[in-house]
Chain A
Amino acid sequence: MSIRERLSGNEAIATAMRQINPDVFAMFPITPSTEIPQYFAQYVADGKVDTEFICVESEHSSLSACLGAEAAGCRAVTATSSAGLSFMNEVLYVAASSRLPVVLAVACRALTGPININHDYSDSMAERDSGFIQIYAENNQEVYDNYLQAHRIAEHPDVRLPLMICEDGFITSHAIENIELEEDETVKKFVGEYHPENYLLKEENPLAVGPYGISAYYMEARVAQAHAMMNAKKVILDVAADFEKTFGRKYGLIEEYRMDDAEIAMVIMGSSAGTAKACVDMLRKNGVKAGLVKVRVFRPFPGEEIAKAIANCKAVAVMDKSEGFSACGGPLYAETCGACYNLKNRPLMVDIVFGLGGRDFTVDSAKTVFDRLATIAETGETGEIYTHMGQRER
């Protein structure tokens, strides 16, 4: 039986962690992720978990400690945001290439500067090539559900990659919403125990981790890692199928919202998708064939799935909530365009960078985008392909 509750995204993550009872949690605080380890510290203090909880002196060390613990045979977790994730950057790559399935909760926040504590994806998008699996949530329920699926995906023998559970800073991390929690025992049974094949503390068979790999071996290691990321797609779907069977809520790599006959569509991520869905509903009432594709999993990138979903659209706006400074569009746009290149009939596609540093994205904002898409669809002219939205002009 599900339990009806009201929780913030951070508390939902902490609750999932409590239910999973990881072996090691290494923490360092940074807004807006700080509440996660704070809630967890109370669970430790109250004897609700028997996790080894280490308060380290930086994010670089929190992830490093997770690597040590994970290699030693433990399920290890941590949480961070923004500059904290950037500070982990070097270790993220080590985690992925060492094939250590750490689960990292990220309350996504803008990067400096100017310094800003609010939401966008500059932090997580900057780590898109780190080798972490990245799963994004639209709301608190999804954050919780994604977290329950995280360890099984990351630890799967065909994958063995670290994984980021991404929530939108403040919007999801701090806003309290209704949520359906699952029973502790059901969660434990669904997630299962971690039984790595080899680990540092395996008494009868020592393990060496993190070699120097010369040119004669480096490429094989990287290709194996690339294949693991490719394998992750199927594993994510398999775990989602079992999740649906167990808990009744359905997840995929992407979510298609009113896309069946859509002529204009947005490709969007996170909480903004919820806002945009309200706009789609409004437009549909007025007879506009609008739809939306929400990208839940960004790594591995569901290129084929997105391409298939928007193949029959006339015009598509890719909504980037991070600025890649490529001078020709954000990361979601670049990858979506790439995924669609071999389609026989491609939709016209524009990139809109929005919501940086917590700038509001409202139903009206979404309406502006769809209005523009309607014009593009009608005229066949995209106008400027790469634009920003919501900023003051001067």
Chain B
Amino acid sequence: MAYNLKEEMNKKERFNPGHRLCAGCGAGIVCRAMMRAVDENDKAVICNATGCLEVSSFQYPYTAWDDSYIHTAFENASSTASGVCAAVEVMKRKGKINTDTNYKILVIGGDGGTYDIGFQSLSGALERGHDFTYFCYDNNAYMNTGTQRSSATPRFAAATTTPSGVESVGKKQDQKDLTQIVVAHGVHYAAQTTLFGNLKDFSEKAHRAIYTEGPTFVNVLTPCPRGWGYPQEDLIAICKAAIDTCVWPLYEVVDGEYRLTYEPKKKLPVEDFMKLQTRFAHCFKQGNEWTLEAAQKYVDKKWEDLLSKCK
């Protein structure tokens, strides 16, 4: 069925207003769209890693989630989900729950809980083949603790642990390519997406991931106004810049086959993405021109690599 924004927006909200996420944060949009991707009659269990989303969406005695939800700790959302997946299997087998009910196990964590501290449990759960979908809302740093660098932080971005200064131009290392690492686990479906336009790209990938059997993975570039330094209303424009500069290419991998889902008509220079955010402000200072060149070179190389995989 073709994607229809009006129909999407008429679906019942399963992630409700009243949560405490910042204005201009992408995580709330991710959660709403993720829950719209679950078919109306299907049940969901959300397994959430510690982070901004967890402290903002389930502050006792209130929860923003209509569906069942569990948070245990920071690094173990995937292993907690493994237990929930096992429970679905065994309780159906033993007749303790309705065998006709579809339970969709959705795991969600930030880049801290996914790329870094939760990486081991994610890898383990992917390898074991549980039936769950992992959504990473990648905001490029540890935002809940105040923008410390993560392995998802791009090179040259200033973070509170990689500030710019006379001896520093921000983070020294390139970001970890987690989507490719997940693909290397041999999952049936993995994708990169972000928040732009009518959310068609996100919604279709989320639905496909959720309704593909076995472990699946959706990596969502999710800007953070406080950590990236942009006016809250620019959220979608920043996502758009990320895809038009190919800083965050949109693609999906189905059973090992790569497919590009968005190709910019005109590939924009990477500085068009960087100049929108104060975390890169130092790159535009006199004498730091080389950082823009290096950033461009990295993005070009990654883009070419991806294109060669998509052919």
Contacts and interface: CB of A to CB of B under 8 A. Distances in A.
Interface stretch (A72-80, A165-173, A231-239): A72-80
Contact of A57 (B47, B68, B70, B120): B120
Interface residues of A, number: 45
Contacts of A98: 72
Interface in B48-71: 54-55, 58-61, 63, 65-71
A137 to B, nearest CB: 27
A51 B88 CA distance: 12
Interface stretch (A32-40, A149-157, A202-210): A202-210
B82 A60 contact: no
Interface stretch (B21-29, B97-105, B216-224, B300-308): B97-105
A26 B82 contact: yes
Given A26-B82, A60-B121, A68-B72, A51 B87 contact: no
Contacts, number: 172
Interface in B238-284: none
B91 interface: yes
B43 A203 contact: yes
Contacts of A203: 43, 97-98, 101
Q: Considering residues A61, A68, A70, A214, which has the most beta carbons from chain B within 10 angstroms of its beta carbon?
A: A68
A168 B250 CA distance: 55
A58 B124 contact: yes
A94 B85 CA distance: 19
Interface string A58-88: 1011101111111111101000000000000
Contacts of A55: 128
A201 B79 contact: no
A217 B91 contact: no
Given A26-B82, A52-B90, A74-B91, A200 B76 contact: no
A23 B123 contact: no
A255 to B, nearest CB: 36
Contacts of A214: 59-60
A212 interface: yes
Contacts of A221: 60
B82 A200 contact: no
Of B67, B93, B124, chain A has the most CB atoms within 10 Å of the CB of B124
B83 to A, nearest CB: 3
B43 A23 contact: no
A69 B86 contact: yes
B73 A91 contact: yes
Contact of A23 (B69, B85, B94): B94
B135 to A, nearest CB: 17
Contacts of A206: 43, 65-69
B121 A69 contact: no
Nearest to B75: A60
B72 A94 contact: yes
A211 interface: yes
B311 interface: no
A200 B90 contact: no
A50 interface: yes
Nearest to A93: B73
Contacts of B71: 209-211
A56 B81 CA distance: 12
B63 to A, nearest CB: 5
A376 interface: no
B305 to A, nearest CB: 29
A69 B85 CA distance: 8
Contacts of B66: 206
A210 B121 contact: no
B47 A68 contact: yes
Nearest to B124: A57
A313 to B, nearest CB: 45
Contacts of A26: 79, 82-83, 86
Please classify the interface of chain A as helix (H, G, I), strand (E, B), loop, or mixed, using the class held by over half of its residues: mixed
Contacts of B76: 60-61, 64, 91
Contacts of B158: none
B97 A201 contact: yes
Contacts of A54: 82-83, 86, 128
Interface string B191-229: 000000000000000000000000000000000000000
A5 interface: no
Nearest to A22: B90
A60 B60 CA distance: 25
B123 A71 contact: no
B33 interface: no
Given A60-B76, A91-B76, A68 B87 contact: yes
A47 interface: no
Given A64-B76, A68-B79, A217-B61, A210 B90 contact: no
B150 interface: no
A64 B89 contact: no
A56 B45 contact: no
Contacts of A202: 68
Contacts of A213: 59-60
B291 interface: no
B80 interface: yes
B97 A210 contact: no
B72 A91 contact: yes
A91 B80 CA distance: 10
B96 interface: yes
Nearest to B89: A52
B62 to A, nearest CB: 9
B55 to A, nearest CB: 4
A212 B88 CA distance: 26
Contact of B60 (A61, A65, A212): A212
Contacts of A183: none
B121 A67 contact: no
Contacts of B98: 203
Nearest to B88: A201
14 contacts: A57-B120, A57-B124, A60-B76, A61-B82, A62-B79, A64-B80, A64-B121, A94-B73, A200-B68, A200-B70, A208-B63, A208-B69, A211-B71, A212-B59
Given A60-B75, A74-B86, A200-B68, 4 more contacts: A24-B87, A68-B72, A201-B45, A201-B103
Interface of A: 23-24, 26, 50-52, 54-58, 60-62, 64-74, 76, 90-91, 94, 98, 200-203, 206-214, 217, 221
